[in-house]
Structure 1
Amino acid sequence: MTDRRSLIKSLAGAALLGATAANAQRAKSVTIGYLALLPGEDRMSFMASFMRRLNELGYVEGKSLHFEYRSADGRPELLPALAAELVGMKPDVLVTGFGTVAAKAAKAAAAGGIPVVFMAVGDPVGAGVVESLARPGGNVTGLSDLASNLQGSRLQLLREVAPSASVVGVVFNPGTPYAALAYKELGAAAEVAKIGLRPFEVRSAKEIEPQLLAAKAAGVGALVIFEDPLTLSQRSEIAMVVARLRLPAVYGYREFAEAGGLMSYGTDHGTQWRRGAEFVDLILKGSRPADIPVEQPTRFELVVNLKTARELELPVPPTIMIRVNDTIE
């Protein structure tokens, strides 16, 4: 009987210790740092998708998750100091938001130590953020915005909505590594379609309106606006000037269409940021960034602003409407 009682006590004690350990594990708080270049990125829809997915995975801010957010408010020169500040807090994972320069600043500050997950880098290999997509190497991995034939699809949309446009203007920031690849791909598609391209470079917000006016003066019949932190942060001004010039345009992200742009075709950022949260979860559970391949987008969305189309007196053909994922009235 004594041995039986001892066994029961031992089992009860082991169960109690196990429950205590499990509760301690659940109660353990992790710290995630988030470095943004864009102003107000924490209020954007894709950031909400990231936080929502973390919550679904069991990370509750204020309980099991401590979240530190820093934004350069559109000033890239501030990123190195902000990245160093976040690294000094010793987060379990450092996440970077939209754009290449934030990822590069985080990689430099983390210096092979703290894991880094980037959310939307156009050309992470060309920018030197990772060694390769399949084998990132080091302490950095994440999600790329680079996808084959994306620019060809955008050009096709413009051809459908503005079939008479024989010359298309391309507005982009040459300081973005992604821009060179995107322009090359767009050029290949334009050559097949026998459409001329005219580049219009913007390196700062003050250059946007003059370059759009130059595009109109050059006689372009439509515009492609490449996405990068500069153009995304100035999306409302771009959409307003383009509408005033009465030029049909296609943009990279739905945020441009929501700001008044005619249509956008690009990565589904809600899905992409949710996947980024899953990358963070994998790392927190022990995976090494070097062993997690960089993922390219597989889901894209077409958004049409019907209000802008009406203001431009531009009919949206049925071939586009049957493919649309969302409309803005």
Structure 2
Amino acid sequence: MTTNSRTASRTPAPSARRGARLPPGHRTPPAALAMLAALCALLLALTACGSSDDDATTNAAAGGDSSPLKVGVLVVAQSSLLDDTVAAYRASLVKAVAPRKVEFDVQNAQGQETLIQNLARTFARSDDDQFAVIGTPAVIAMAKLEKRRPVIAIAMGDPVGAKLAASLDAPGGNVTGSIDFVDPAKLLDAIAKTSPAPKRIGTIDDPSNQNSKIWVAALKHAAGAHGMSVVEATVASSKDVNSAARSLVGRTDALLMGPDAVIYSSLPAVASVARGNRLPLYLVAGDATASGVLASLGPDYPTIGTRTGEVAAKVAAGADPGTVPFARPTALAPEVNAATAKALGVTLPAEITGASR
């Protein structure tokens, strides 16, 4: 509220004008003193009101809230891939909202379902402004508990299939962010051109992960179109990954790991089994330079993290998350482990080697 100064000011009474003198012994009546005090209080209140509105206008013009942006970050499991993606997201958000400060509270669930639920509840009770979550089970847990504040999903596979968004372009709720879904048909198009070409593809997944279920179903469908079959081994936690990988030996010609954070948290175990049994190991995401890995065929995850930070910045600036589209991978970024390819005697097609770094 802005006060008109002419309305707020008063012309002084004749006896109070400069130069006027009061007669000796004159005393101002108590009623007049009370009225004067009331007028002073009113003027102070009006002045404060005007200043508050002016300050609010100034703050809005300068970019809004100057208080730190508090962000709770929930990471589903320990993995260098996830760590790199989250680091890129954080750097991108800090840059996008500068000079506003950002305070991150990063918690890792270590791939444990109980810990995922506990951390989600802790975050829901916090005073954070928004939440960033990587790993579909963790995103779902957070979204079930928090319906008001924004939940930014980092590299989620299928938020629509998980019923967290109406569509990728118009999510409609409080969940937005980025996706990492790569159609398995594109991957098998390239793998089918390797020499020797595999006929039996082994994969490991956690069936409690909605994204993994969707991806494996798509993989099986695509494999049929390529004259291949899929041998699936399931796990309940990262502790089961090693035995699941060993169970695929002798039943598969190659391994293809989909976008499952629990699997990637135990990737060294899978790579060790692949190396020891001369099985080509392909990843949708991860470090292709790791011993035992043949190639990583998916998108560049730090780039996905960077784009997620940009989405989060839009929401922090006041955009309704329900209207902010999910960021998508723009291209695949295949990477080949030349040492593994040589050891296995595998010849890879140009679709894979042509874009390797």
TM-score range, shorter chain: 0.7 to 0.9
- Decide which moves more: 50-59 or 273-282: 50-59
Kept in 2, the 8 Å contact 1:116–1:140? The answer is: yes
SS of 1:28's equivalent in the other structure is coil
Structure index of larger Rg:
2
Q: How far apart, CA to CA, are the structure 2 residues paired with 1:106 and 1:236?
A: 29
Q: How far apart, CA to CA, are the structure 2 residues paired with 1:253 and 1:43?
A: 10
Q: Specify the alignment match of 1:310 in structure 2.
A: 342
Q: How much has 1:57 moved relative to structure 2? A: 1.5
2:355 to 308, 323, 327: 323
SS of 1:314's equivalent in the other structure is coil
- Decide which moves more: 39-48 or 284-293: 39-48
Q: Specify the alignment match of 1:178 in structure 2.
A: 211
1:100 to 108, 132, 136: 136
**What amino acid sits opposite 2:168 in the alignment?**
L
**What amino acid sits opposite 1:101 in the alignment?**
P
Q: How far apart, CA to CA, are the structure 1 residues paired with 2:63 and 2:199?
A: 66
Seen in structure 2, the aligned counterparts of structure 1 residues 119 and 167 have a Cα distance that, compared at 3 Å, is same
Kept in 2, the 8 Å contact 1:162–1:222? The answer is: no
Give per-residue Cα distances to partners, 1:127-186, cap 9 Å, x unaligned: 222233233222111222224xx3122223322334342222232222222233223322
Q: How much has 1:118 moved relative to structure 2? A: 0.6
More strand by share: 1
Q: How much has 1:23 moved relative to structure 2? A: 7.4
Q: Specify the alignment match of 1:3 in structure 2.
A: none
Q: Specify the alignment match of 2:194 in structure 1.
A: 161
Kept in 2, the 8 Å contact 1:235–1:256? The answer is: no
Q: How much has 1:316 moved relative to structure 2? A: 4.0
**What amino acid sits opposite 2:229 in the alignment?**
G
Q: Specify the alignment match of 2:126 in structure 1.
A: 89
Q: How much has 1:259 moved relative to structure 2? A: 5.9
Q: How far apart, CA to CA, are the structure 2 residues paired with 1:319 and 1:43?
A: 26
**What amino acid sits opposite 1:196 in the alignment?**
S
Q: Is 1:123–2:128 an aligned residue pair?
A: no
- Decide which moves more: 21-30 or 135-144: 21-30
Q: TM-score, normalised by structure 2?
A: 0.76
Question: Which structure 2 residue ranges, 5 or more long, are not aligned?
Answer: 1-50
Q: How far apart, CA to CA, are the structure 2 residues paired with 1:202 and 1:170?
A: 11
Q: Specify the alignment match of 1:6 in structure 2.
A: none
Q: How far apart, CA to CA, are the structure 2 residues paired with 1:275 and 1:91?
A: 21
Paired residue total: 304
Q: Is 1:49–2:88 an aligned residue pair?
A: yes
The CA RMSD over aligned residues, in Å, is 2.8
Q: TM-score, normalised by structure 1?
A: 0.82
Q: Alignment identity in percent?
A: 25
Q: Specify the alignment match of 1:113 in structure 2.
A: 148
- Decide which moves more: 64-73 or 131-140: 131-140
SS of 1:309's equivalent in the other structure is helix
Kept in 1, the 8 Å contact 2:334–2:353? The answer is: no
Seen in structure 2, the aligned counterparts of structure 1 residues 155 and 235 have a Cα distance that, compared at 3 Å, is same
Seen in structure 2, the aligned counterparts of structure 1 residues 321 and 214 have a Cα distance that, compared at 3 Å, is same
SS of 1:308's equivalent in the other structure is helix
Kept in 2, the 8 Å contact 1:170–1:225? The answer is: yes
Q: How much has 1:315 moved relative to structure 2? A: 4.2
Matching of residues 251-262 of structure 1 within 5 Å: 251-255=283-287, 257-258=289-290, 260-262=292-294
Matching of residues 33-72 of structure 1 within 5 Å: 33-39=72-78, 44-59=83-98, 64-72=101-109
Kept in 1, the 8 Å contact 2:160–2:167? The answer is: yes
SS of 2:333's equivalent in the other structure is strand
**What amino acid sits opposite 2:189 in the alignment?**
Q
